[in-house]
Amino acid sequence: MKKVLAFDIGGTKIAYAVIDKKGNFTNEIIKVTTPKTSAGIFELLKTVIKGFEDEVDGVAIATAGAINNDNNKIISHVGNLPEKYNELDFTSLTSKPILLENDANAAGWAEFKLGAAKGTRNAVILTLGTGVGSGIIVDGKLLKGKSGSAGEMHMRFGFGHERKCTCGLWDCLETYVSGNALTTDAKVYISPEATSYDVIKGLKENNQKARAAFDHWQEYLENALVMMGNLFDPEVIVLSGSMAQFVEYDRLNKQANDDILTQPFKLKPAKFENNAGMLGVALLLLERLN
């Protein structure tokens, strides 16, 4: 059975595994800290690929950043990754077939094919991690746009110049709905040293300041759901990424559906959690190899 070596390159960690046509991970997932330079990332990928090259049919890479599918390069600067990451020539890493996909697009495809959005035709998968990404399924296909980089979740959520975004603008949705955003709320509602971890810890201890920080963060998330519900009229919105486990699904599901103009959607947690990116890009490449 055909299988590929799949990577997920994030701002904090790089994970990799071998994945077969049925979506099975045939070895344990390895996770390493993301090197601090783009050259370091490239060397790491090269070494790992060399080690697996004889046993796989291709290399699939899920990564932060908008992808140009015409040349497998990253479009423009990616906030959470080192400088010049967008200059890396990924195709030179191997002579085997190689496919890059935005990590959130890849995660969306995994949830659509085998996960929480399986059986639907229109779905939005939001990845709430260090940043915020989306994989959007329109009529059974991944929303790509003209160059493959659609689904970038950078839109203004305010005009007060309150939160600087990694994209260079101010007050993007990402600055209110990501893991980093919860840390921003922690500093406002708890203390200047507090982080998202303190909010999550405080929630379990019924700490009122932590609750206020979390409610503020979740109010913005609810508005992100309303936006995506109104724009895409999906059957399901799936939340993925490290922050997804903390969301109050029943509450947000009701609130957001009360506020949309379109027909109700169902809010669900992702099935594959942090492995969705690797799985999705592997499935995309394996579909092409057939």
Interface residue with its own copies among 6, 199, 226, 278 (CB under 8 A) is 226
Residue 73 CB, nearest distance to its own copies (Å)?
A: 11
Inter-residue contact 191 to 222 (CB < 8 Å): no
The token pair at 170 is 């101010």
Region near its own copies per CB under 8 A, out of 56-64, 88-96, 254-262, 267-275? 254-262
Nearest residue (CB) to its own copies, 229 versus 280: 229
Interface residue with its own copies among 95, 159, 192, 193 (CB under 8 A) is 159
Nearest residue (CB) to its own copies, 40 versus 145: 145
What's the CA gap between 111 and 233, in Å, rounded? 18
Stretch 61-80: interaction string toward its own copies, x if CB under 8 A? -----x-x------xx----
Secondary structure percentages of the chain, helix, strand, coil, to 5: 40, 20, 40
Q: Which helix (H) or strand (E) holds 89?
A: none
Residue 176 CB, nearest distance to its own copies (Å)?
A: 9
Nearest residue (CB) to its own copies, 46 versus 121: 121
Nearest residue (CB) to its own copies, 13 versus 156: 156
Interface residue with its own copies among 50, 156, 251, 254 (CB under 8 A) is 156
Q: Which residues contact 259 (CB under 8 A, 6 or more apart)?
A: 222, 226
Residue 24 CB, nearest distance to its own copies (Å)?
A: 31
DSSP conformation letters of 180-243: HHHHHHHHHHT-TT--HHHHHHHHHTT-HHHHHHHHHHHHHHHHHHHHHHHHH--SEEEEESTT
Give 29's DSSP letter.
P
- According to the binding rule CB under 8 A, does residue 212 interact with its own copies? no
Region near its own copies per CB under 8 A, out of 17-25, 106-114, 157-165, 249-257? 157-165
3-state secondary structure of 60: strand
What's the CA gap between 61 and 278, in Å, rounded? 7
Region near its own copies per CB under 8 A, out of 29-37, 179-187, 232-240, 244-252? 232-240
User: What is the footprint of its own copies within residues 126-155 (CB under 8 A)?
Assistant: 138-139, 141, 143-155
3-state secondary structure of 280: helix
Inter-residue contact 281 to 60 (CB < 8 Å): yes
Angle, vertex CA 219, rays to CA 251 and CA 275, nearest 5: 75
Stretch 168-207: interaction string toward its own copies, x if CB under 8 A? xx--------------------------------------
Which residues here bind its own copies, judged by CB under 8 A?
66, 68, 75-76, 120-122, 138-139, 141, 143-160, 167-169, 220, 223, 226-227, 230-235, 259-263, 265
